[in-house]
Structure 1
Amino acid sequence: MQVQNDAQPYDTINITPMLDLAYVLLVIFILMTTAGVQGLTMNLPKPSNKPSTEKHDIKIVQVQQGGTLTINGVGVSMAELETQLNQAKALDPKFNVMIKGQAQAPYAGVIGVIDLVNRLEIENVGLVTGKIGT
């Protein structure tokens, strides 16, 4: 008895299940990457259409490399800085304070100045990231 083998070998591969798997993996990848994106909520200042005509005094506080402080180029201690900022606030409550730390300055000194400004409740505070006056 001889068995006839009418079955011919396949010369193509069915790739439909492989494509289904690829689409499922693509959907999972898209969902996981968009779900993992988290942001930081920031309240950015909004520009006004009218220019400000008010002129306020500016105090530039620099933290030097050794941790020493200067206010408008004059060396001061932390207590003297507090006194000068209190006096400036008494004269003009809306005066500006700009804080600049040199590249080699200790980070704790900059944080100390920021804490002092917050404790004195000074509203107009900025951090200088480039050269002053250029």
Structure 2
Amino acid sequence: MKVESEEKVYDDINITPMLDVAYVLLLIFIIMTTATVQGITVNLPKASSTPSLSKPKTKAISITQDGTVYLDTYPVSLEELETRLAQYKAATPDLPVVLKADASIQYQKVVEVLDIVTRLEISQLGLVTQKLVK
């Protein structure tokens, strides 16, 4: 009687241990990379908060259906609008202004506000409209 050997010949390679090693190496690489990216601690200088370095705030002029003029959220007359815009213009020469007017108001009211903006030489003016939906 002949005894067969207990050893089996494997035709394929078990890649599970290799994948485990690859995942561990990848995890170590990610951790080490993010740890070195943090860099050197530096005491940064403090900047002053001057308004000339910041972007000027846009002023919104709104005209409601009844003809009331608002500067930002406060109702103003046309004379008050001109004086306040002149003050803002003196503080920031490139003052941006946005004009929102109700569609049903008289066109004359919009022209009066545009005249004030033109007199004050405000060159950054935007007119707010609604997108036409078809």
How many angstroms does 1:54 deviate by? 6.0
Aligned-residue offset at 1:102: 0.8
**Structure 1 position 66 matched with structure 2 position 81:** no
Aligned-partner Cα distance in 1 for 2:106–2:67: 6
The two structures, once aligned, show a CA RMSD in angstroms of: 1.8
Which residue of structure 1 lines up, in the alignment, with residue 99 of structure 2? 99
- Amino acid across the alignment from 2:100: K
* 1:116 maps onto 2:121 in alignment: no
TM-score normalised according to structure 1 size: 0.55
Q: What secondary structure does 2:59 align onto?
A: strand
Structure 1 residues 1-134: aligned runs within 5 Å: 55-130=55-130
Q: Please tell me whether Structure 1 or Structure 2 has the larger radius of gyration of its CA atoms.
A: 2
Distance 1:65 1:56 in 2: 29
Whole-Å Cα distance in 2 between the matches of residues 86 and 101 of structure 1?
21
Give the gaps of 5 or more residues in structure 1.
1-52
Structure 2: gaps (5+ residues): 1-52
* Structure 1 runs, 4 residues or longer, greater than 4 Å off: none
- Using the TM superposition, give the Cα deviation of residue 97 of structure 1 relative to its aligned residue in structure 2, in angstroms: 0.6
Counterparts of 1:97 and 1:123 in 2: how far apart (Å)?
9
- Is contact 1:66–1:105 with CA below 8 Å preserved after alignment? yes
Shift in Å, 1:89: 0.4
Query: How far off is 1:130 after superposition?
Result: 3.2
Secondary structure of the 1:112 match is helix
Task: Please give the alpha-carbon distance, in whole angstroms, between the structure 2 residues aligned to 1:130 and 1:72.
Answer: 19
Paired with 1:59 and 1:100, the residues of 2 have a C-alpha distance of 11
Q: Which amino acid aligns with 1:95?
A: L
Q: Does the aligned pair in 2 maintain the 1:66–1:106 contact within 8 Å? A: no
The code of the aligned residue for 1:104 comes to S
Distance 1:97 1:59 in 2: 5
